[in-house]
Amino acid sequence: MKKEQFSIRIEVGRLEKLRLYARHKRKTMTQLVEDWIDTLEMPNYKDTEG
């Protein structure tokens, strides 16, 4: 699967929290973000039309 880079600005405290959490879970920060994205439900656009 092709991957692209995603860059965000984040407060230093939150970045450190993410780094510590990733280390504790033995995952990369990328894996944590991808796991979180996978939990998101896709909106049903039929429900939002007119």
For position 45, what pLDDT does the model report? 79
pTM for the structure as a whole: 0.74
Identity of the amino acid at 11: E
pLDDT for 1-50, tens place per residue? 899 999 999 999 999 999 999 999 999 999 999 999 999 999 887 766 55
- Least Cα distance to 29 among 19, 39, 38 occurs for 19
Q: Which residues of 21-39 are buried (b: 16+ CB within 10 A; e: fewer)?
A: ebeeeeeeeeeeeeeeeee
What stretch of H or E contains 13? Answer: helix 12-25
